[in-house]
């Protein structure tokens, strides 16, 4: 997507996924390859990847589909599953994710048997693919990966503190692509987005360099998929020979010729509606998180992330919907992809929301199911999956009801099989419940020192002190590669004639996401949650240089994505009260409170005093 929104999204990739790694154990052991590896599903409605068979049988043997049809003659001794009133589908294929830690386990629980990753640590991808080749990881979705993406120096993808190679000119293209292939990239993912449609300016490769990279990928028999953020960027990518677009755009309505251009180049499109909706202020994750068929199989962090949002909104979601309708009219292959785990998404779960969004944008339920099964299998040359057909892998999803008429029926999952091995969803769900209960029990209670509500009045020391918690620290974008800076010091002359206050000075340096200021941590360690639900608001006094600033609140419920409110620091002291409800929180798991500058480049200075919870 765009660098500004993408930075937020990929911050989740780096930060929330690390959080998941630390907090979420491997819930279930994979079943052996022999256990329940031959079975027949009888009297079931079948969506085979493109069409509906109203009633039939599917016989699975040795991890493959042996026979499909109304008259399958499986031996009586073969384990039989009654599919009356249910629908059997190919395992879902998510065509745009970022896979780390527990992502592939979560995906499989929701029937996503293959993830097409668009940027991850290539070492991680290599290990997963090695395990897959050895017949291991049957409790994880299969992985294909772009590995390291293709971007400009300081372009999107470089901002997370991870050292990755970059490209500056067309002449470097073949060597660059060859290096990615040597690392194991299954296809090439290219960033062509300068962020200007989102009010920022991030370096991006030229159209000539993009075209050279696409040609270099094709020279080695690899697909080239391009991340774009604007209509013009999408046009440039298609004109340069891209095999597919990794996103659509919210900055403009599609022009009359766009869909025809894509069709004439025989390219595919992954609209990533789940993320586009969240970026443009029409998030779809919260209703999905509230669905009982989804909710009880979500880890706590993923449940929170589904309800998350990006700072600010950009563009119009209706532009994306209209583009999808025009692409459909021109018979452009549309692939379902979520861009999980960005705000408003979760691995696996969001595929069910993505299909619903595709239907809302004009696809029929059958077309949406095709976009999640046979279409990505065909586009990415995964010839062994994506269909319920003899000889294909037995990657299967069994659901109650009829998703070919009601797409939401895909959420009512009866069973999931990868290579013929059924996933133990009941054990997964039980382990999740235990994990959630443990997390609630371990949540720190409010310290006695917090009873008065006062955090700091800055009158009793030369350095900033807090009445409870782990105190005040500088917080900037430097940990993820940014160059913004800040300093804080206790100065004379506080609000209401008090002795002292806290002055925060700094500089915001332009970046895809930039911030600088001071953070108070209420828990015994930075970013540890504490229960302050007896309080209902944050109050403080402020004065400064007349600029707009952000009050940001971090809670465990929202992972590492802050909720924000703006305030202005004028030349005179002013008291500000912001209720917890403005952040959509109740204070039971507060992790941090930030005061400072956001996004706008340049120097700043603000002074705060008498910070308290009321």
Which residues have C-beta within 8 Å of that of residue 133, sequence separation ≥ 6? none
Residue whose entry in the numeric block shows the structure tokens 């774009």? 228
> Is 268:276 a contact under the CB 8 Å cutoff?
no
- List the end-to-end C-alpha distance of the chain, in Å, as a whole number: 40
Tokens of 551: 């009050």
Residue 36 has pLDDT above 80, yes or no: no
Tokens of 305: 């992330």
DSSP percent split of the chain into helix, strand, coil, nearest 5: 30, 25, 40
Select from 295, 299, 273, 292 the least CA-distant residue to 284: 273
The CA dihedral of 173, 177, 179, 181, to the nearest 10 degrees, is -170
Select from 185, 183, 104, 91 the least CA-distant residue to 143: 104
Angle at 526 between CA 520 and CA 532, to 5 degrees: 65
Residue 316 has pLDDT above 80, yes or no: yes
Least confident span in 191-205, 351-365, 483-497, 588-602: 191-205
> Is 332:324 a contact under the CB 8 Å cutoff?
no
pLDDT, position 313? 82
416 vs 460: which has the higher pLDDT: 416
pLDDT, position 35? 44
Tokens of 296: 């009880």
For 529-548, what is each residue's pLDDT tens digit? 999 999 999 999 999 999 99
For 283-297, what is each residue's pLDDT tens digit? 889 899 999 999 999
Query: How far is the C-alpha of 66 from the C-alpha of 68, rounded, in Å?
Result: 7
Residue 10 has pLDDT above 60, yes or no: no
Query: How far is the C-alpha of 293 from the C-alpha of 433, rounded, in Å?
Result: 15
Select from 467, 381, 426, 366 the least CA-distant residue to 95: 381
Indicate the angle between helix axes 122-133 and 173-183, nearest 10 degrees: 50
Q: The dihedral of CA 468, 472, 477, 479: what is its sign?
A: negative
Least confident span in 10-19, 273-282, 306-315: 10-19
pLDDT, position 557? 77
What are the CB-based long-range contacts (under 8 Å, 24+) for 168-173? 168/205, 168/209, 169/209, 170/206, 170/208, 170/209, 170/211, 170/212, 171/212, 172/209, 173/209, 173/212, 173/213, 173/215, 173/216
Using 50, 70 and 90 to split pLDDT, how confident is the model at 244? Answer: very high
Backbone angles phi, psi at 506, to 5 degrees: 180, -170
C-beta atoms surrounding 221 within 10 Å:
8
Set out the domains of the chain in order of their start, with CATH numbers: 3-28+92-384+424-435 (3.20.20.140), 447-613 (2.60.120.430)
What are the E-state strand segments in 149-299? 188-191, 224-227, 244-245, 268-269
For 66-77, what is each residue's pLDDT tens digit? 999 999 989 999
Backbone angles phi, psi at 81, to 5 degrees: -120, 125
For 92-106, what is each residue's pLDDT tens digit? 999 999 998 899 999
pTM above 0.85, yes or no: no
Using 50, 70 and 90 to split pLDDT, how confident is the model at 31? Answer: very low
| Residue 261: exposure state from Cβ atoms within 10 A (0-12, 13-18, ≥19) | middle
Average pLDDT over residues 287-312: 88
Angle at 121 between CA 115 and CA 124, to 5 degrees: 70
Helices (H), 110-186: 122-133, 173-183
Using 50, 70 and 90 to split pLDDT, how confident is the model at 133? Answer: very high
Q: Are strands 112-117 and 92-97 parallel, antiparallel or unpaired?
A: parallel
424 vs 343: which has the higher pLDDT: 424
Helices (H), 330-405: 349-360, 365-371, 374-379
pLDDT, position 57? 97
Q: Give me the chain's average pLDDT, please.
A: 91
Helices (H), 401-541: 425-442
Average pLDDT over residues 438-449: 74
Using 50, 70 and 90 to split pLDDT, how confident is the model at 18? Answer: very low
Using 50, 70 and 90 to split pLDDT, how confident is the model at 584? Answer: confident
Residue whose entry in the numeric block shows the structure tokens 């999956």? 385
Average pLDDT over residues 340-349: 95
Average pLDDT over residues 245-262: 96
| Residue 174: exposure state from Cβ atoms within 10 A (0-12, 13-18, ≥19) | middle
341 vs 9: which has the higher pLDDT: 341
For 161-180, what is each residue's pLDDT tens digit? 678 999 999 999 999 999 99
C-beta atoms surrounding 260 within 10 Å:
15
């Amino acid at each position: 997507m765009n660098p500004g929104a993408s930075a937020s999204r990929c911050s989740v990739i780096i930060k929330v996924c690390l959080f998941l790694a630390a907090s979420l154990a491997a819930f279930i052991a994979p079943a052996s390859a022999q256990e329940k590896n031959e079975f027949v599903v009888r009297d079931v409605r079948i969506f085979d990847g493109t069409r509906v068979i109203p009633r039939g049988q599917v016989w699975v043997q040795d991890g493959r589909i042996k026979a499909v049809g109304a008259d399958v003659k499986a031996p009586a001794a073969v384990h039989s599953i009654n599919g009356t009133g249910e629908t059997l589908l190919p395992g879902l294929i998510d065509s745009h994710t970022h896979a780390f830690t527990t992502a592939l386990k979560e995906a499989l629980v929701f029937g996503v048997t293959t993830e097409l990753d668009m940027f991850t640590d290539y070492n991680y991808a290599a290990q997963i693919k090695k395990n897959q080749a050895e017949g291991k990881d049957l409790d994880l979705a299969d992985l294909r990966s772009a590995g390291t993406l293709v971007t400009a120096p300081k372009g999107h993808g470089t901002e997370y503190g991870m050292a990755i190679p970059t490209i500056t000119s067309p002449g470097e293209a073949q060597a660059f692509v060859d290096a990615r292939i040597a690392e194991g990239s299954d296809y090439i993912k290219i960033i062509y987005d300068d962020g200007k449609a989102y009010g920022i300016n991030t370096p991006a490769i030229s159209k000539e360099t993009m075209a050279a990279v696409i040609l270099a990928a094709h020279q080695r028999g690899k697909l080239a998929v391009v991340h774009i953020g604007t209509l013009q960027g999408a046009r440039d990518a298609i004109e340069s020979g891209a095999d597919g677009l990794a996103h659509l755009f919210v900055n403009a309505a599609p022009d009359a010729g766009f869909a025809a251009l894509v069709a004439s180049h025989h390219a595919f499109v992954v609209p990533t509606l789940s993320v586009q909706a969240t970026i443009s202020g029409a998030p779809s994750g919260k209703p999905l998180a509230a669905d009982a068929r989804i909710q009880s199989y979500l880890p706590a962090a993923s449940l929170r992330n589904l309800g998350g949002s990006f700072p600010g909104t950009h563009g119009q979601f209706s532009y994306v919907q209209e583009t999808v309708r025009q692409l459909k009219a021109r018979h452009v292959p549309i692939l379902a992809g979520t861009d999980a785990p960005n705000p408003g998404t979760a691995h696996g779960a969001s595929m069910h929301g993505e299909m619903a969004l595709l239907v809302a944008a004009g696809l029929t339920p059958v077309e949406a199911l095709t976009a999640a099964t046979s279409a990505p299998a065909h586009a990415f040359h995964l010839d062994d999956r994506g269909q319920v057909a003899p000889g294909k892998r037995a990657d299967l999803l069994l659901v109650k009801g009829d998703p070919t008429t009601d797409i939401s029926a895909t959420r009512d999952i009866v069973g999931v099989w990868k290579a013929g091995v059924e996933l133990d969803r009941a054990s997964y769900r039980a382990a999740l419940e235990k994990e959630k209960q443990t997390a609630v029990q371990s949540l720190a209670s409010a310290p006695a020192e917090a009873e008065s509500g006062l955090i700091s009045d800055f009158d009793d020391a030369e350095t900033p002190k807090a009445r409870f918690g782990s105190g005040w620290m500088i917080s900037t974008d430097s940990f993820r590669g940014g160059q913004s800076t800040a300093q804080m010091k206790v100065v004379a002359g506080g609000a209401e004639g008090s002795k002292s206050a806290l002055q925060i000075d700094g500089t915001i340096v332009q970046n895809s996401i930039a911030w600088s200021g001071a953070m108070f941590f209420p828990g015994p360690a930075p970013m540890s949650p504490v229960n302050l639900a007896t309080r209902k608001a944050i109050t403080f006094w402020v004065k400064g240089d007349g600029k707009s600033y952000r009050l940001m609140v971090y809670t465990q419920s929202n992972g590492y994505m802050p909720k924000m409110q703006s305030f202005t620091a004028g030349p005179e002291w002013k008291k500000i009260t912001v209720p917890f409800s403005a952040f959509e929180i109740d204070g039971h798991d507060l992790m941090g409170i930030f005061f400072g500058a956001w996004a706008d480049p340049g120097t700043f200075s603000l002074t705060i005093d008498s910070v308290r919870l009321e």
